[in-house]
Each structure stands twice: as C-alpha cells, then as structure tokens.
Amino acid sequence: MKINILLKDRKSVYWGLFGAFIYFMIYLWSIGSLRAGTDGIWRFQTASNMTNMLFRSSAPYLWEPSVRLQTPMLSVVFAPLNLFLGLILAGLVFLNLAATINLYRQPKSCRLDAGTKGIWAILPSFLTGFACCVPTFLIPLASISASITVYVIWLRQFLIPISVILLVWGSWYSLRRVQKV
C-alpha cells in the first residue's frame, strides 16, 4: 500500500508532521482556541454544563469551548469538535506534505527528467495545501479582509468542506504516485 511506503520515508514523515503541527497551531489560533496567558498561574476549568455545550455551535464549523487550560504563558480553550476538525485537516495536510516531499525526491515518478522539472510533480499537492488555509489566510490581510468580512463569514460555511474535499483529492492524487526512496 502506498501509505506504508510513504511512512517508511523518514524525511517525508518528519516534514509532514512538522507542517501538520504548524497548521494545527495556526488553526487553533485562528479560531480563538490559543491565547496569550496573562494570569501567570496554572488553572484547569470545565464548563458546568459540558454535555450541553458539546454540540453547541457558535458559527458554521465552530463549536463552543467546554474546557480551559490556563498556563502562565498560554491559555487554551478546548471544544472537542473543534479539535477533531483541526486534527482531520492537519492529518490531510500531513498526507499532502509528506507525499509532496516524497514526489519531489522522486522526479521520475511523474515521468519527468531529473533536475528542476521535478518540482512540477508536487504541484497538485502544493495547490491543494492552500485550500486548508483559506479561512486563516485572511488573518494577515486585515485591512483587505475588513472590507469583505460579511461575505467571507457567509462563505466560510462552504470553505471548510471544499478544503476537505480538495485535500482528500490532493492526497489521493499524490499517494498514487508515491514510490520507494
């Protein structure tokens, strides 16, 4: 199976995990789950109505947090469904990135000659990798995104499913071409 071949390539797995971790942290930060801690204390709190809050949605694909972990430097609020969605997206980013690195190291996997032409082998995974970041991509573009916020908020309900579809397609497309290093 192609995933077993991919998982045996240590360099691809390492960089795939690194990229997935970075993506997961950016995802948690963009939905407000990670914040700078200012109290300087350690605290763990759960919501009194935790079972009621489990499926309470505050926006499309964004659920209310039910657990808070406060450290001196960081405050993390957990909503199990937010974590689950973030882990799914991070897993797809891992597959795309690991397959992309494997394909880059195997330029003949796409019937291209060695050299700089091998970069074209990673294009599908590279392009679909951007799909997962559409909601978070607008963060650094605050002045532009302020003018289109209402449209983006309405569009967000479609961006997450489209991102998942594109990431699954990119993973499938790239994994078909994975070869032993």
Question: What ranges make up the beta strands (E) of the chain?
Answer: 34-36, 43-46, 57-59, 62-63, 67-70, 74-78
Please state the rounded mean pLDDT for residues 109-123.
Answer: 53
99: pLDDT strictly greater than 50: yes
Percentage of residues in the chain with pLDDT exceeding 90? Answer: 4
Q: Determine the straight-line distance between the first and last CA of the chain, rounded to whole angstroms.
A: 15
Q: Where are the domains of the chain?
A: 2-33+80-175
Please state the rounded mean pLDDT for residues 6-24.
Answer: 88
Contact criterion met (CB below 8 Å) for 36 and 74: yes
